[in-house]
Amino acid sequence: MTGPSPLTRLEVEPSGLAVLTIDAGPLNLYTLALHEQIDRSLDALPRDTRALLLRFDGRVVSAGVDVALFDAQQSPEQAKVLFDRMLALPERIAAYEFPTVFAAHALCLTWAFEVAVACDIILAAQRASFGLVEKVVGLTPTMGGTQRLAARAGVGRAKEFVLTGERYPASTLERWNVVNRVLPDDGFDEAARAFTAQLAAGPTRAHAATKRVLDHFAAGGVPEADRHVTTIAAELYRTEDLRNAVRSFLADGPGRATFTGR
């Protein structure tokens, strides 16, 4: 199934893998029109979606935000309305129970990076680079990138990243534990799709449970996660996937189970 729009494309495979492509060339700048199209594509995700890959067409992932949007705000009150709207996008993606993967094939600035760190996994091509460069217009990032970067890399790295406004290569962000994997430029798109398809084929109810445990960890550390993990894990006994996979393991050995997401 494919959902067409002027700026985005949504492909949904029978396996439950969804691929959302942003194609707002040449620079994939954030605009309210693009945000609206992304929302419409996300609205079209089937209820049984098992994994989502976010990817971009064009020579860059994104060169940032259309600065005319900032110029149009005439007061702090107007700006607050805009920033709340912008923040809603990464918050929406972060809230999904199924795995989310961001594929960065090239330069990835501001809003796109903030969406990236809201995803579960970031894959980057070797040529990719990243930056939060809002300082050039006297602004701080508004879409959660600062705090989500700090959650991955630590407060000190987040301060460096934002205060300098420099562009950092994929290899550096992999070393900082921000990018999960750096992959060769050649075949990057196919590799990102295959990686996400593998997640979609897995025990996605268990993946959702893992995300819930880590949400509790983010809120209160190991003690808070410990208070919830046994309940969350025990609830998986209501799923077909767990019971069938246990039987498969006992009968045929590890790695032979198939999962349906139920």
At 5 the pLDDT is 58
Both structure tokens of 102: 């961001």
At 53 the pLDDT is 98
CATH of domain 2-200: 3.90.226.10
What are the structural domain ranges in the chain? 2-200, 204-252
pLDDT exceeds 80 at position 4: no
At 39 the pLDDT is 97
At 6 the pLDDT is 81
Q: How confident is the model at residue 255 (pLDDT cuts 50, 70, 90)?
A: confident
Three-class SS of the chain: CEEECCCEEEEECCCCEEEEEECCCCCCCECHHHHHHHHHHHHCCCCCCCEEEEEECCCCCECCECHHHHHCCCCHHHHHHHHHHHHHHHHHHHCCCCCEEEEECCEEECHHHHHHCCCCEEEEECCCEEECCHHHHCCCCCCCHHHHHHHHHCHHHHHHHHHHCCCEEHHHHHHCCCCCEEECCCCHHHHHHHHHHHHHCCCHHHHHHHHHHHHHHHHHHHHHHHHHHHHHHHHHHHCHHHHHHHHHHHHHCCCCCCCCCC
What span, in angstroms and rounded, lies between the C-alpha atoms of 247 and 262? 16
pTM: 0.94
Q: What is the pLDDT of residues 167-180, one digit of tens each?
A: 999 999 999 999 99
Task: Report the chain's mean pLDDT, rounded to a whole number.
Answer: 96
Q: What is the pLDDT of residues 98-153, one digit of tens each?
A: 999 999 999 999 999 999 999 999 999 999 999 999 999 999 999 999 999 999 99
Q: What is the pLDDT of residues 36-60, one digit of tens each?
A: 999 999 999 999 999 999 999 999 9
Share of the chain above pLDDT 70, in %: 98
pLDDT exceeds 90 at position 1: no
Q: What is the pLDDT of residues 199-240, one digit of tens each?
A: 999 999 999 999 999 999 999 999 999 999 999 999 999 999
pLDDT exceeds 90 at position 3: no
